[in-house]
Amino acid sequence: MLPTFTLRYARLPARFHERFDPVPVASPRLVAFNRPLAEELGFDLDAYDETLATQVFSGNRVPDGAEPLAMAYAGHQFGNFVPRLGDGRAVLLGEVTDRQGRLRDIQLKGGGRTPFSRGGDGRAPLGPVLREYLVSEAMHAMGIPTTRALAAVTTGERVVRRIPEPGAILTRVAASHIRVGTFQYFAGRGDVDGLRELADHVIERHYPQLQPELADSEHLGRPEGERYLALLEAVQARQAALIARWMGVGFIHGVMNTDNMSVSGETIDFGPCAFMEAYDPRTVFSSIDEGGRYAYGNQPGIGQWNLARLAETLLPLIDEDQEQAIAKATKVIETYPGRFEAEKLAVMRAKLGLTGEEEGDGELIDALLETMRAGRADFTLTFRQLGDVAASVDAEPALYELFERSEPIQAWLARWRERLTREAAGPDEIARRMRAVNPKYIPRNHRVQEALTAADDGDFRPFETLREVLAKPFEDQPGREEYALPAAPSEQVFRTFCGT
């Protein structure tokens, strides 16, 4: 049933990880299994055995060919550097080559106390496991690079956070689990050889175009340091694009520490994450982000800050002369704001049905966002409704209802309609394009919480229904319109919690 494991990360030197078998659990039960993802990964679903799957996804059985381990890494947490973090409750089983030839990590999250647990229990509550399952799969359905959820298992045990909760384990799939904090782990120890081996591993796995044997003639013969500088540029490009796409769907990661930033360019570690409803760039949902460091509007700047920390780790590889290395790395980091703004502008143009580029587009977008902020309009529904307005003026009254006052949005609509006259497509085609990029369904906080609360009581039907809805975010789903609506005042969820 299981695909063949490879052990690329396990074959790196011993200081990169700690060998660790998952700790068995009392009474595992498979409560979610992602069959389409399993097929993509190369599972033989004709030979699917739920008993075996439950044993493997709970950590009670180590699959043949796997050599489980906990990865070492460090990280800045809310701006404070911690030199030794590592997988405190996650266990990497190994990698598999999927049906498209891509190498993918398979990891158990909640697999028990590892050498990096620092006094923690190494377990995960059911709520955060199901939240990550729902949100990561929703992000994938919206086309945003992300880790994926393969399975969720309840353990038959209780874990204690604020209160005793049912325990669970998430099987997570990623392009890799290498983070900015992984580089910081070796830099913090002055381990330049470890840094070089890690960087070479990342280049081979995620940026093969930077390998010397694949470099084009323009890059042949250049100093080795330029390859590592190019790695910094490549990671920066993916991160700028990723955060721009987060912003385009109102996503708030909630805890953008350097140990939660993947160098592959995927969204990783869905802890106290949430989707904004009423538009406000100051929005924060994380219970641990008391100062708003990771508020929605701060995410682009934090992305640059995290990349600067990555740049610091690469300095010894970029140039032996530290001053020269700093100058080169700084030049790259200084290009981030322009790169991000270009990515964001592309995302927002698409959301407004614009394919052409005009100088005033940025100001038009900013004006809409300010109108939404002042009118406390729902972010997701505003853009979705604009798609209907693009097709027919008859849809305008429904859009006005999203705003506390209709006059400002009416004035903005006149500007937008004038801009659309210079698009080559007609109204129906513009509306079709907009509906393809503006989701109708997102993991709204109150719906997620409703599913988690029911699951804690043993009822997984709300979870399954929500999972089905979120798998088709851009489609109208008759009979499920209520899942597109923002929370009523009595349903609002203002705080989300990490599962550690």
Query: Rounded distance, CA 320 to CA 168, Å?
Result: 48
pLDDT in tens, 365-381: 999 999 999 999 999 99
- Phi and psi torsions of 382, nearest 5°: -60, -50
Does residue 217 surpass a pLDDT of 70? no
- Strand 164-174 and strand 148-160: the pairing is antiparallel
* Average pLDDT for 22-32: 98
pLDDT in tens, 430-467: 999 999 999 999 999 999 999 999 999 999 999 999 99
pLDDT of residue 490: 72
pLDDT grade for 328, boundaries at 50, 70 and 90: very high
pLDDT of residue 123: 97
Burial of residue 356 (CB within 10 Å: 0-12, 13-18, 19+) is: exposed
Query: Rounded distance, CA 146 to CA 266, Å?
Result: 4
* Signed CA dihedral, 17, 21, 26, 31: sign only: positive
pLDDT of residue 499: 62
pLDDT of residue 212: 79
Does residue 9 surpass a pLDDT of 70? yes
Which residues fall within 8 angstroms of residue 172, CB to CB, at 6 or more apart?
A: 90, 105, 106, 107, 108, 109, 132, 136, 147, 148, 149, 150
Q: In the block, which residue shows the tokens 């809409």?
A: 368
Query: Rounded distance, CA 45 to CA 65, Å?
Result: 19
Alpha-carbon distances, residue 23 vs 20, 68, 94, 182 (angstroms): 9, 11, 17, 24
pLDDT in tens, 231-287: 999 999 999 999 999 999 999 999 999 999 999 999 999 989 999 999 999 999 888
pLDDT in tens, 119-177: 899 999 999 999 999 999 999 999 999 999 999 999 999 999 888 999 999 999 999 99
Determine what percent of the chain is predicted with pLDDT higher than 90: 92
pLDDT grade for 222, boundaries at 50, 70 and 90: low
pLDDT grade for 2, boundaries at 50, 70 and 90: confident
pLDDT of residue 231: 98
Tokens describing residue 488: 């009523």
pLDDT of residue 498: 63
Mean pLDDT of the chain: 95
Residue 259 known to be catalytic: yes
Determine what percent of the chain is predicted with pLDDT higher than 70: 96
pLDDT in tens, 460-491: 999 999 999 999 999 999 999 999 999 988 77
* Average pLDDT for 210-229: 72
pLDDT of residue 288: 86
* Average pLDDT for 337-357: 98
pLDDT grade for 204, boundaries at 50, 70 and 90: very high
End-to-end CA distance of the chain: 32
Exactly one of 259, 269, 289, 319 is catalytic; name it. 259
Q: In the block, which residue shows the tokens 């497509």?
A: 425
> Are 22 and 59 in contact, with CB atoms under 8 Å apart?
yes
pLDDT in tens, 62-97: 999 999 999 999 999 999 999 999 999 999 999 999
* Average pLDDT for 21-30: 98
Does residue 303 surpass a pLDDT of 80? yes
pLDDT of residue 358: 97
Does residue 219 surpass a pLDDT of 70? no
Does residue 339 surpass a pLDDT of 90? yes
Q: In the block, which residue shows the tokens 């009423």?
A: 278
Query: Rounded distance, CA 304 to CA 204, Å?
Result: 24
* Average pLDDT for 211-225: 63
Entry field: residues in the chain: 500
- Nearest of 197, 229, 227 to residue 215 by alpha carbon: 227
